[in-house]
Amino acid sequence: MISIIERKNESAEDILRRDEIKNNVSETVSGIIDEVRRGGDAALIGYEEKFDKVRLTSLEVTKEEIDEALRQVDEEYIAVIRRAKANIEAFHKNQITEGFRIEREDGVVLGQKVMPIERVGLYVPGGTAAYPSTVLMNCIPARLAGVSEICMVTPPSKDGKVNPVILAAAAIAGVDRIFKVGGAQAIAALSYGTESVPRVDKIVGPGNMFVAEAKRQVFGRVAIDMIAGPSEILVVSDGKSDARTVAADLLSQAEHDRVASAILITTSADEAKRVSDELEAQIPLLPRAEIARTSIDDKGKIIVVGSVGEAVELANEIAPEHLEMCVEQPMEWLGKIKHAGSIFLGRNCPEALGDYFAGPNHTLPTGGTARFSSPLSVYDFVKKSAFTYYTKDALRTVKDDIAYFAEHEGLHAHARSVLVRFDSEEK
């Protein structure tokens, strides 16, 4: 049963004890990365046989396989994916940014150039956990940013095929190449390249602890989006919400993982009891009841506070992945929310709306990292370069300042590189 706490003066960390989840996979992952780096495709095929129980003769998904998948997937499912794509595109188009250029009267030109990352790798979980929404959320902002080549990796089923809905979503979203490989070995392949899998510049997408650890280890050779932790939902309620919907929203994240975190902060002890009772009634009805049960019992919390203002303050301390504001006049509280991955306003805005359809990205910072990081976006798929142009007259006016600065840092060659351009004028 979920814990109900009446908050006194405890901090969020005191209440949640949200410690970093430690695992012992580092050495295993390091070995896999090294083997793929040295063995290329042969190592990938060996690991797929070992971990996914499938013997592959080729790694790349063919056009024929994609066409077959599109025929296999229900037409209504295809239509829903297309409608979701339209919403996601419409939202993310607003994130497209251009550089700037400053031209001064003295002939100096300064600016910033915004360029897409050339090649990106998308990791998409496969097998029984088929999430076409993840394909859309990762591919669409990359495509809008202008990425030249988008490569997707996803583990195959035991028949050597990729889940048809994953292939259908990839075709609709605009993925360029798809490879049948998962786990840490897929991250290694994208980082170093093999005979079949090209090396990419950035890897995005969620995965299990082996995938997360692999992303951690290859960071620096390639860029990554984030190290994602367990899913989180925090619901703030003013005591007037329907207990059934609040409980259902909490369970929408609890069913993800045994270590997922589902939290309610409410101003009403009566509501806390009603939501707790609803959780007990709804958990047995879920196909993933065992997972939800463990999550609610071990990581779930209902915290009773004195006011919505106090609830928002506590929410800012927690910095959740998903924050639902189930209160009257939710827009009035938006300006007071400082730290949250994605914010859902009002009683008719379940977190699942954001997972699939509304448009904002569902790849979000977890574990309190919303204090300093952001959802996946078009910005993640571009890089910026500054540019500078000075005429000789413009450089002359600042040469002594630059030399003075450089010499006081002990970098005399820096100073000389400026002054040498004016040697003839000093004679």
What integer pLDDT is reported at residue 401 of this predicted model? Answer: 98
What integer pLDDT is reported at residue 273 of this predicted model? Answer: 97
Catalytic status, residue 322? yes
Contact of 225 with 363, CB cutoff 8 Å = yes
Could you give the CA distance from residue 265 to residue 320 in angstroms, rounded to a whole number?
12
* Active-site pick, 322, 324, 351, 362: 322
* Active-site pick, 35, 48, 321, 351: 321
Could you give the CA distance from residue 284 to residue 274 in angstroms, rounded to a whole number?
17
Strands (E) located in 71-224: 100-103, 109-116, 119-123, 149-154, 177-180, 202-204, 223-224
Least Cα distance to 292 among 307, 282, 301 occurs for 282
What integer pLDDT is reported at residue 185 of this predicted model? Answer: 98
Residue 419: how many CB atoms within 10 A of its CB?
16
- Lateral strand order in the sheet of 177-180: 177-180, 149-154, 119-123, 202-204, 223-224
Sole residue written with tokens 């994208």: 190
Burial class (CB in 10 A: 0-12, 13-18, 19+), 372: exposed
Could you give the CA distance from residue 249 to residue 254 in angstroms, rounded to a whole number?
9
Distance from the Cα of residue 113 to its chain's centroid: 25
Sole residue written with tokens 């994953």: 166
Helix (H, G, I), strand (E, B) or coil at 3: strand
Distance from the Cα of residue 395 to its chain's centroid: 44
Q: Which residues of the chain have pLDDT under 50?
A: none
Which two structure tokens, joined as six digits, stand for 146? 């202008």
What integer pLDDT is reported at residue 254 of this predicted model? Answer: 96
What integer pLDDT is reported at residue 10 of this predicted model? Answer: 67
What Å distances lie between residue 130 and 76, 154, 273, CA to CA?
Answer: 17, 10, 35
Catalytic status, residue 321? yes
Tell me which amino acid residue 412 is.
Answer: H
Query: What letter does residue 302 receive in the DSSP assignment?
Result: E
Could you give the CA distance from residue 285 to residue 395 in angstroms, rounded to a whole number?
74
Contacts of 341 (CB under 8 A, 6+ apart): 320, 321, 322, 323, 364, 365, 366, 370, 374, 375
| Model confidence pLDDT, tens digit, residues 262-321 | 999 999 999 999 999 999 999 999 999 999 999 999 999 999 999 999 999 999 999 999
Helix (H, G, I), strand (E, B) or coil at 14: helix
What integer pLDDT is reported at residue 22 of this predicted model? Answer: 61
Burial class (CB in 10 A: 0-12, 13-18, 19+), 317: middle
